[in-house]
Amino acid sequence: MKTILVIHLNDNQTSETVRFLDQELQIERIGCGGDPNRAQTIIADYDGRVDAIGLEGLPARLELGSADIEHTVGVQLPTAAQTTHVVDGRGIRAGLERWGVILADRAEPGIFAHKRVLMVPGVNHTGLAQALRRRTDHVRYADPVVYFGLPHLPGIGRQITLDQAAPRTLSRLCDTPFRRIYPQPGEPGHERISEPFEWANVLAGDSGAIRRYAPDKLQHKTIVVEWATEEDSADFQQRGASILVTMMPALDGGLLGRWSAATVEAALVALRADPDAALTEDTYLDMLADIDWTPTIRYLQSAEAELNRFAFVIHPLNVSFIHNDKRFRWTRFLPDSIVEPVAANMPPLYLSRITGGQSPTTGQRIEGTLITLAATPRQMMKRDARFTYKKLNQAARLAEARGARIMGLGAFTSVVGDAGITVAHESDIAITSGNSLTVAATLESAKQAVINMGATDLTKGKVMIVGATGSIGSICARLLAQAIYDVVLVSIEPERLIELKRTIQEETPGAHVAIATRADEHLAGCDLIVTATSAFGQRIIDITKCKPGAVICDVARPLDISKREAALRPDVLVIESGEVLIPGDIDFGYDIGLPPKTAYACLAETALLAMEGRFEDYTLGRNITIERVKEIYRLFKKHQFQLAGLRSFDEFISEEEFARKRALADRYRHDPDLFAQVQAEAAQKLKSIPVEAKGVKASSGMPKPALIGAAVAVGVGALLFGRKRK
C-alpha cells in the first residue's frame, strides 16, 4: 500500500486510508504550525519513508493574474528531501479548477453564469479565476482586503487593475509567513470590510480566507473553494450561504471534497504506474483522465435544496406605472413626453423574488425572479425590434445571475419582433413567451364565461377572433373552430388571413370560416369575440354593435377594450384572459396588478415549466402548435394549477352580476325596438370617447427641444436609482 505525507499549517496529526484510482492509499497528515523550520525537519525525517510528500499551504511559488514569483522560503522546502518527491499542488490546481468549473456547470447549468464573483483570494487560484471569467464579466479580487487590510475604494480589486496590481502584490508577499498567504479561520487583525462581499453572488478561493474575512451574514451566496472540511461547511451554513462547491476530487468517494490540491497531487505522484515518469502536466493529465468525478455541490440551506428557479419579465403598460413605482414617483413632476422615452433606455431592473410555489403532486418547489423593463408598449412599437432584444438579453443575464434556468416574456415583450426566437438564440437561458398556456387559459375562461351567460350547447353559435393572424389569435382560431365550427377571422393582414382560413378548413372539415379586415359588419352575429391584437391608437371593435349577451374575451395586454367602452353595453360581458392560481403559498413580492396569489397565464407557464423541470425553449415565435397547447394544459392539470375567477377590469364577476347581464340580454332579445334604442344611444355616447387602444390615444406629442436637458437629468437619475436595487 502506498503512503503519502501531507504537511499542513495547523498543529494536529491524523492518519487514514482511502481508495483512489483503484488502489489503497494511506494519508498521513502532520501539522507544522506554519513554521518552515519545523516543516523542513518533518520533510527530512520522512524522506524515503513515504511515496510522496504534499505541502498544503506551503507554496513554492505565488501566482496572481499573469504574474508569477518564487516564495523565498517555500521554494527551499522541497530541497530538504533527497529521495521523495515533494509537491505543493501547483502541478494540478489550475487544471483541476478549470475542469471543475466545467463539470459543476454541467451538473448545475447556470450556477456561475453572469454571477458577481469575488476571489478570496486570487493568489494561487488563476485556473479558477480564468474559468469563472469565461462565464461572467463580473470578477473582482479581495486580495487587497485579505493581505493588506485596504478599505473598499472604487477600482480596488477590479479585473481592470489586476495586471498593474498583481506584480506589486506578489513582491510584497514573496517573503510573507505562510499563515498570511493562506489565512486560517478566526478573527481578522482588522475590521471586516463588508462592501465587496455584499456585492458578490459567488465567493471563490480558500475556505480559511473566506471564513476569516467575510461578514457574518452570507445569505444566498455560493462558496467555491479548492477544498473544505465539515467544519467549514457548517460555518458557511450557519452564516446563511446557499451552496458550497469544492473543486478537488473526493479521494475517498465521500460527500465533500476535503482534500487539497497538494494532497491530490501527492496521491497522483505515489500512484503513478511508472515511478520514474516525469512529473509533468502530461503525466498528471493522463492519470486525471481515469478519475470519474464531479465537484461536490452541497446545498447548505434545506429550504433552497432542489429548488427550481425561473424568471419573468414585465414592463409598465403606460407611463402611469412608472409614476406609481415608489423609486420613481418624482417623475410625475416631469412631462410624460420626456419620462416615457428616457425610461425606455434604462437597463432591466430586479423587482422581487417569487416564493412559495410548490407542486402538490410531486412536491417540487420553485422560486422566481421578477424583472422589469422600463419601456412601455408604445416605446417598444416606436423602436426597431433590436432595441427590445437588447433589453431582453440584458434581462436574461440578470436572470441567470440569480439562478434562473428559464425566463418568461410578459405582455408586449412576447410579441415584439419574432416573439422570442431571437432572444432564445442569443441567450444561454431557456426562453418561453408563455403563450401556450395563455391560449389554454383563455379558451377555458371563454368557455366558462359563455356558460355563465346562459349558453347550453357550446357547439352552436359563432365566434370572432380579432387579431387572428397573430401568434395567440391564430391558435385560438384553430382550436375554437374545432369546437364551434363557425368562426370569423379578423386581421389587417389579408394574405395571412387567407392562409389561416385554408389551414382551419384542412384541420376541421365542415367548419365555416369567414375572413375580414374589419370586425364591425360581423359583430351582430357573434356570441363570443376574442381580441388579441397589438394595435395602438384605434378602436378594435365597436361594442355598440355586439349582439345581446355577447362575451368579449380580451387577451391583449394592454387591453383592447376600455372600461368606458364596456360600460356602454351593460348586457355584454367583457372578461380578461384567464388568470391562474399557482399551487403553494405563492408570494410575488410585488404588486403585478392582480389579486394575491394570482398570475397571468404567461407567468404561470414559466412557473409550470420550472415545476416540471422543463428548462427548454418552449413557446417561441408566432406559430404556436396545438400539441404544445394541449401538453401545457396536461401539465397544468398534473401540478394542480387552477384558473382564477373570471374578472372584468380588475374586478371579479359575481353571480349577481352574471344574473343581471343575463336578464338584460334576454330583455333586449325579446324587445328589438328597445335594443335598437339602446344601441343608438350607446353609439352616440361612443362618439365622445376618444379613439384609443391599450390606453393610448390616436396621436401623441413629441418632446420639445427645450426639454432635452430635463430628459438627460431623468435618465441619469433613473440609472442611479435602478443600480441601487439588488
pLDDT at residue 698 is higher than 80? no
> Which whole-number Å values give the CA distances from 10 to 41, 250, 480, in the listed order?
16, 21, 74
Per-residue pLDDT tens digits for 194-210: 889 999 999 999 999 99
Give mean pLDDT, residues 322-329: 82
How does DSSP classify residue 625?
-
Find out whether the peptide bond into 558 is cis, omega within 30 degrees of 0.
yes
What is the chain's mean pLDDT, rounded?
88
In single-letter form, the type of residue at position 456 comes to T
pLDDT at residue 291 is higher than 90? no
- Compute the CA torsion angle 77, 79, 82, 83 (nearest 10 deg): 60
Least confident of 113-127, 183-197, 207-221, 337-351: 183-197
Contact 415, 602 (CB under 8 A): no
> Which whole-number Å values give the CA distances from 493 to 100, 470, 589, 621, in the listed order?
53, 10, 41, 17
> Which whole-number Å values give the CA distances from 559 to 202, 532, 575, 692, 696, in the listed order?
42, 9, 10, 11, 10
Per-residue pLDDT tens digits for 1-25: 999 999 999 999 999 999 888 889 9
Predicted local distance difference test score (pLDDT) of residue 721: 31
Q: Across the strands, what pairs with 296? A: 246
Per-residue pLDDT tens digits for 38-72: 999 999 999 999 999 999 999 999 999 989 999 99
Predicted local distance difference test score (pLDDT) of residue 326: 80
- Compute the CA torsion angle 54, 57, 63, 65 (nearest 10 deg): 120
Predicted local distance difference test score (pLDDT) of residue 6: 97
The residues, ordered by sequence, that sit 6+ positions from 592 with a Cβ below 8 Å of its Cβ are 314, 370, 599, 600, 603
Tell me the percentage of the chain whose pLDDT exceeds 90: 63
The residues, ordered by sequence, that sit 6+ positions from 333 with a Cβ below 8 Å of its Cβ are none
The number of CA neighbours under 13 Å toward the Cβ of 524 is 7
Closest residue by Cα to residue 334 from 699, 713, 723, 721: 713
What are the domain boundaries of the chain? Answer: 2-87, 93-259+289-299, 307-436+582-644, 443-578+647-697
Q: Going along 111-255, which residue ranges are E strands?
A: 116-120, 138-141, 202-205, 222-225, 243-246
93-259+289-299 CATH, one of 3.20.20, 3.40.1620, 3.40.50, 2.60.40? 3.40.50
Predicted local distance difference test score (pLDDT) of residue 596: 87
- Residue 496 to residue 351: CA distance in whole angstroms: 39
Which residue shows C-alpha cell 487514514? 16
Q: Any idea how long the chain is? A: 726
Predicted local distance difference test score (pLDDT) of residue 725: 36
First to last CA, the chain: 54
pLDDT at residue 710 is higher than 70? no
CA 138 to chain centre: 17
Characterise 44 by phi-psi region: left (phi > 0), alpha (psi -120 to 50), beta (else): alpha
Q: In what order do the strands lie in the sheet with 243-246?
A: 138-141, 116-120, 202-205, 222-225, 243-246, 296-299
Tell me the percentage of the chain whose pLDDT exceeds 70: 93
pLDDT at residue 428 is higher than 90? no
Contact 579, 596 (CB under 8 A): no
- Residue 233 to residue 307: CA distance in whole angstroms: 20
For residue 362, the surrounding DSSP H or E stretch is none
Predicted local distance difference test score (pLDDT) of residue 286: 80
Q: What are phi and psi of 526, to 5 degrees?
A: -100, 130
Same fold, 93-259+289-299 and 443-578+647-697: yes
pLDDT at residue 531 is higher than 50? yes
Predicted local distance difference test score (pLDDT) of residue 692: 62
Least confident of 95-104, 403-412, 503-512, 551-560: 551-560
CATH top class, domain 443-578+647-697: alpha beta
Predicted local distance difference test score (pLDDT) of residue 713: 33
- Residue 243 to residue 225: CA distance in whole angstroms: 11
- Compute the CA torsion angle 276, 282, 283, 288 (nearest 10 deg): 180
Give mean pLDDT, residues 625-645: 94
Residue 413 pLDDT level (bands cut at 50, 70, 90): confident
